[in-house]
Amino acid sequence: MEKRADNAFCAVRPPGHHAESGHAMGFCLFNNVAIAARYFQKRYGLERIAIVDWDVHHGNGTQHAFYDDPTVFFFSTHQYPWYPGTGGADERGEGKGEGYTLNVPLSAGMGDKEYLDVFNRILRSALKAYRPDAIIISAGFDAHRDDPLAGMNLTAEGYKALTRAVKEIAAEHAQGRVLSCLEGGYNLAALAASVEGHLRVLQEA
């Protein structure tokens, strides 16, 4: 039987990671990845979900939803300081959720090499310890160097490398389960190229 990757991509609009449980924010109405994480838990009985948010903006809404909840691990790379202002490295969760929020704020100008280094050094070890049952990507492509809303320097090739890193982590610790949900991305040519590369890597066996 043909081996198929156990993943999916949702080309959703509007994005969701800024939406908090009580109010819309930053183009976002409902927090798609937060809802998906809870759905995985309630419908499929998965216990631990990891959310990897590589959108250039901090996923304040997702962090807020699970800040005191150890059953959802939230990891975010983002330009900092930048909109929406949250996402400092000292924001690590609270109560039972302490240590299950991992923010990696980055100064403007970071590119493929720096991002991949963060994923390989920090994300890999964090999720090796957490052993998630599934990984959800908050897949914002606005850290692309051509994006008008921020100042990062990722390329479509860089996004492919990040996708590959998450897939490898999922294969090792989460039975290969990856759900990717579109977040930001405001240069349409860069967005199209980045999403295409992302999908090609997700489809690799």
Q: Contacting Zn ion (CB under 5 A), which of 93, 140, 158, 197? A: 140
Segment contacting Zn ion by CB under 5 A, of 2-10, 52-60, 130-138, 158-166: 52-60
Site for Zn ion contains 17 (CB under 5 A): no
In angstroms, rounded to a whole number, what is the distance separating the alpha carbons of residues 205 and 191? 24
In angstroms, rounded to a whole number, what is the distance separating the alpha carbons of residues 175 and 146? 34
In angstroms, rounded to a whole number, what is the distance separating the alpha carbons of residues 138 and 35? 12
Q: How far is the CB of 205 from Zn ion (least distance, A)?
A: 31
Q: How far is the CB of 39 from Zn ion (least distance, A)?
A: 23
Site for Zn ion contains 144 (CB under 5 A): no
Query: In the bound complex, which residue of the shown chain has the CB atom lying closest to Zn ion?
Result: 184
With H, G, I as helix, E, B as strand and everything else as coil, classify residue 149.
Answer: coil
Site for Zn ion contains 147 (CB under 5 A): no
Site for Zn ion contains 184 (CB under 5 A): yes
Q: Contacting Zn ion (CB under 5 A), which of 53, 91, 142, 147? A: 142
Which are the contacts of 45, defined by CB distance < 8 A and separation ≥ 6? none
For Zn ion, the closer of residues 132 and 140 by Cβ is 140
Secondary structure letter of residue 119 according to DSSP: I
Segment contacting Zn ion by CB under 5 A, of 6-14, 37-45, 113-121, 133-141: 133-141
- Residue pair 124/169 in contact (Cβ under 8 Å)? The answer is yes
In degrees and rounded to multiples of 5, residue 134 shows phi and psi of -160, 155
Active site (annotated) includes residue 18: yes
Residues annotated as part of the active site: 18
Binding site for Zn ion (CB under 5 A): 55, 57, 140, 142, 184
